[in-house]
Amino acid sequence: MSSERGTKLSIGWASADITPDRPVQIPGQFHERVSERVRDPITATVLALEADGDRAVMVSCDAVGVHTDLMEGVRERVKGRVDDLETSKIFLAATHTHTGPPLGRPLLYPEPGEGVMTVEECKKLFMDRVAGAIVEAWNRRAPGGVGRALGHAAVGFNRRLTYADGTSQMYGNSDREDFVGVEGTQDHGVEILFTWDPDGNATGVIVNPACPSQVVEGKSFLSADYWDEARKRLRKRFGEGFFVLPLCSAAGDQSPRDLVRRGRGEANMRDEDGLVEMGRRIACAVEDVYEKARSDIRDEIVFEHTVEKLVLPGIEVSGAELARLGKDIETFREKDPEPGTSEWGRMNRYEQVLERFKDSTRGPDLSMELHVIRLGEAAFCTNPFELFLDYGLRIKARSRAEQTFVVQLACDMVGYLPTRKAVAGAGYGATVSSNPVGPEGGDLLVETTIERINSLWDDR
């Protein structure tokens, strides 16, 4: 192992099975789905790091999102169980699987039926087990090293299509005569960082693709989606004790579906064979760069972890847009949709949104938690959004780090953050019904994040 100016690195890994033991209402769609079976384990994976007098604990969760109250509940459970860890240095991030347990705020669905776990029951199970895994990872810290590399995998594709009238649609049809192109780009680069023990054995890997894990997002079973297949393949290669920490990069406008080819020539990206294929691509990307990462393992590094509250301006909307939203609500009410249906869920969502704007055409400011970490020549930065890809690319391009891991849906789940181009095209993911913050807030997030990252390279 080699070293750079810094101090010895300590690394600890652990994981927790957070699979509910009874049926649950699966979040991620507007209509109610109750789980009929468990396809594969729902997991939280923990990586604890310490060096240069600083600390960080990264937790990846097979979930659609992890809200602030859940993260604070985990932190509270960790307090007192470890004396030398500031719980503010813990962050939780979601892979955004749409076949995970309900862990967020009250759902848009009816009260769960008999034998179905409540949200509160799922949250307690989650918080207890994740806190235990954090304590375990922290107590298992031991000398080790890290080695990083850039891999590539065609996993994420832009999911917003544009039409001749200038509008865009998420999951739109590309075989329409007025289809003129895909709204944005995609990023097949995968940021990868391995950890090793002093004997040179790989102990785990951080994998950061720009794509949520939602191949089987409409199914009625519990699953980690493509991360289950990726874990199985990587453990077969590196051993059963090998840990995989998935961190989803900026991917609010991405999905594991090529909307131009629409399944022609590849596995069905709405079913289990597509899940297996995407997991294979991720695992191959990791295996492809293993030797490169192994060639430069660092066990003495510069390490720094900053945490701050960043306030972003609430989205501004026109009175006409709010009026349209109110009209949509009235249309739903006239139809009197059945509880648990998509229309019923949308009606509830729109009512909640309209409530935010009852006194103003500007939504409330959003206070978010921003983590920025320097780990050797790699940087990590977090945000609580389904962040459109272009914002992540801007951060990566201007970062002074040799490799930058952008982590979305971390420390909270607050909605999409679209680009100006997306807002102009409208459609789901780019309207007030799904965005608490607009492009002005996105610019502030980008500029602040870049400033914080680059400051960690000053005078070094």
Helix (H, G, I), strand (E, B) or coil at 168: strand
Token duo for residue 401: 């780090």
Q: Assess if residue 361 is contained within a domain.
A: no
**What pLDDT digit, counting tens, does each position of 90-99 carry?**
999 999 999 9
Task: Please tell me the predicted confidence (pLDDT) of residue 153.
Answer: 98
**What pLDDT digit, counting tens, does each position of 134-160 carry?**
999 999 999 999 999 999 999 999 999
Q: 323 and 303 in one domain?
A: no
Give the model's confidence band at 26: pLDDT under 50 very low, under 70 low, under 90 confident, else very high: very high
Q: 273 and 193 in one domain?
A: yes
The DSSP-derived string for 1-53 is: -EE-SSEE-EEEEEEEE---SS--BPPSSSS--B---BSS--EEEEEEEEETT
Q: Assess if residue 312 is contained within a domain.
A: no
If we measure between CA atoms, which residue out of 40, 253, 293 comes closest to residue 161?
253
Q: Assess if residue 145 is contained within a domain.
A: yes
Farthest CA pair distance, the chain? 69
How far, in Å, CA of 338 to CA of 342, rounded?
Answer: 9
How far, in Å, CA of 90 to CA of 47, rounded?
Answer: 10
Q: 231 and 327 in one domain?
A: no
Q: Assess if residue 136 is contained within a domain.
A: yes
Give the model's confidence band at 59: pLDDT under 50 very low, under 70 low, under 90 confident, else very high: very high
Read off the pTM. 0.96
Task: Please tell me the predicted confidence (pLDDT) of residue 106.
Answer: 63
Q: Is 154 exposed, middle or buried (0-12, 13-18, 19+ CB in 10 A)?
A: middle
Task: Please tell me the predicted confidence (pLDDT) of residue 4.
Answer: 55
β-strands 378-382, 403-407 pairing = parallel
Q: 450 and 341 in one domain?
A: no
Residues near 164 by Cβ (< 8 Å), separated by ≥ 6? 178, 180
Q: 116 and 52 in one domain?
A: yes
**pLDDT greater than 80 at residue 241:** yes
Number of structural domains in the chain = 2
Q: 346 and 272 in one domain?
A: no
Owning domain of residue 436: 2-307+366-455
How far, in Å, CA of 49 to CA of 47, rounded?
Answer: 7
Give the model's confidence band at 109: pLDDT under 50 very low, under 70 low, under 90 confident, else very high: confident
**What pLDDT digit, counting tens, does each position of 400-414 carry?**
999 999 999 999 999
Q: Assess if residue 434 is contained within a domain.
A: yes
Q: 179 and 120 in one domain?
A: yes
Q: 198 and 53 in one domain?
A: yes
**Last residue of some domain: 356, 386, 420?**
356
Task: Give mean pLDDT, residues 79-108.
Answer: 92
**Last residue of some domain: 356, 385, 414?**
356
- pLDDT: which is higher, 420 or 4: 420
Give the least confident one: 308-312, 355-359, 387-391: 355-359
How far, in Å, CA of 342 to CA of 347, rounded?
Answer: 9
Q: Assess if residue 285 is contained within a domain.
A: yes
Instruction: Answer yes or no: are the C-beta atoms of 104 and 68 closer than 8 Å.
Output: no
DSSP 141: -
Q: Assess if residue 124 is contained within a domain.
A: yes
Q: Assess if residue 395 is contained within a domain.
A: yes
Average pLDDT over all residues of the chain: 95
Residue type, 272: E
Residues near 367 by Cβ (< 8 Å), separated by ≥ 6? 309, 310, 311, 312
Q: 348 and 299 in one domain?
A: no
Q: 278 and 157 in one domain?
A: yes
